[in-house]
Chains A and B, each alone.
Chain A
Amino acid sequence: MNEDTIHDVIMVGAGPSALAAAVYTTREDIETILFEKGAIGGLAAITDQVDNYPGFAEGVAGLKLAEQLEKQAERFGAKIELGSVDKIEDHGEYKLLHTSDGPFKAKAVLIATGSDYKKMNVPGEEEYYGRGVHYCATCDGAFYRDKRLAVVGGGNSAVQEAIFLTRFTSHIDLLVRSTIRASDVLKKELQRMVDEGKITVHLATTVDEIVAVDKKVTHVAVHQDGQPVNVEVDGVFVFIGLSPNTAFLEGSGVELDELGLIKTDIELHTSVRGIFASGDVRSGATMQIASAVGEGATAALKIREYLEQPKE
């Protein structure tokens, strides 16, 4: 393999959507390379428990699901490179990808870079990242055994991770900007935790600052119902939504929507011919693993059609 090799398809990202797509393309004997700069499995891999993915009656650990998807894709010949794609150029019959491992060419590209957890952008958040501010409960929760935590957010992720963190902590303050927007199943479980005194829910609460003394987080300064309040904690876990990983597409010609998500047509084709998108990074995505996997399969079949078309 050299710089002039034109690969069949390169997938940017190796989360559930790309891995599912890779299962389909490799089974069609389409040469497939995936580039992943973070964790294989994406956000699914850092999720404690996935209970809404079909086929697992008792649910499945996110990391386990990610490992199985990876093994399944590799079983059929998918090659996963641990590196980043920093830029994509459209050269008509091939796309040139500038990667951390050098230039790669491909006839078709699937962008399935997903999203990362959003930052709050408040004082103290960046400064104490990893030292009191966290975005991965399964990775860092154990450091807070018998300590107090704040969890910020009111959606499915925030509620699920708050419930998970109760196995370590003495108490959790759930800081919610408006109201709880989690599924009914999670709301019921949350209520059980509230009734047991393990979680206190603070609605209409916005975070102003994460405050530390001698570099140890001591409290979160918030506004609750318009009034300033200090919530004493030893650490903060943030789950306030998702931000798409599309910065590397600047100058590529791939059109984004106002949220930075990739616009596609019904066949998951982007505005650039030969470049497809699927999963959480796609405009209109439902941000569900099951949907991402389904879109990955659809994208793979559309890529096959694209590769079979006679080129002008």
Chain B
Amino acid sequence: MKQVTVYSKNACASCVMVKKWLTIKKIEYTEVNTDMHPEALEDAVKLSGAATMPVIVVEDSETLAKHISVGYKPAQLASLVVA
């Protein structure tokens, strides 16, 4: 079982695309909107090491492995969440 969290912000086209892609693939995710929760912006930077949105965290509840993806990269997303 994989848990997907999307750190997003408003007016972010890549964030919209990631959420759209996950929805089309019928993958459930939790969204953390950093405009509504500004304190989460720092968490996103710590997780990704990058200053860009969105940040996608994929956690495997069995192995506890955690993978991070940044931006809208469908092929990378597919390898993380569909496999």
Residues of A within 8 A of B52 (CB): 130-131, 134, 136, 139-140, 143
Contact present for A39 and B41 (CB under 8 Å): no
A38–B53 Cα distance when bound, in Å, is 14
Residues of B within 8 Å of A, CB-based: how many?
A: 25
Contact present for A132 and B51 (CB under 8 Å): yes
Contact present for B50 and A48 (CB under 8 Å): no
Contact present for B13 and A82 (CB under 8 Å): no
Interface residues of A in 1-45 (CB under 8 A from B): 37-41, 45
- Min CB distance, A298 to chain B, in Å? 26
A62–B12 Cα distance when bound, in Å, is 10
Contact present for B41 and A40 (CB under 8 Å): no
A38–B13 Cα distance when bound, in Å, is 9
Residues of B within 8 A of A140 (CB): 51-53
- Min CB distance, A244 to chain B, in Å? 19
**Is the CB of A224 closer than 8 A to any CB of chain B?**
no
A250–B81 Cα distance when bound, in Å, is 33
Contact of B17 among A39, A100, A143 (CB under 8 A): A39
Residues of A within 8 A of B9 (CB): 139, 142
Contact of B13 among A131, A139, A143, A144 (CB under 8 A): A139
Contact present for A143 and B51 (CB under 8 Å): yes
**Is the CB of B34 closer than 8 A to any CB of chain A?**
yes
- Min CB distance, B44 to chain A, in Å? 9
Contact present for A82 and B74 (CB under 8 Å): yes
- Min CB distance, A135 to chain B, in Å? 10
Interface residues of A in 66-125 (CB under 8 A from B): 66-67, 82-83, 100
**Is the CB of B24 closer than 8 A to any CB of chain A?**
yes
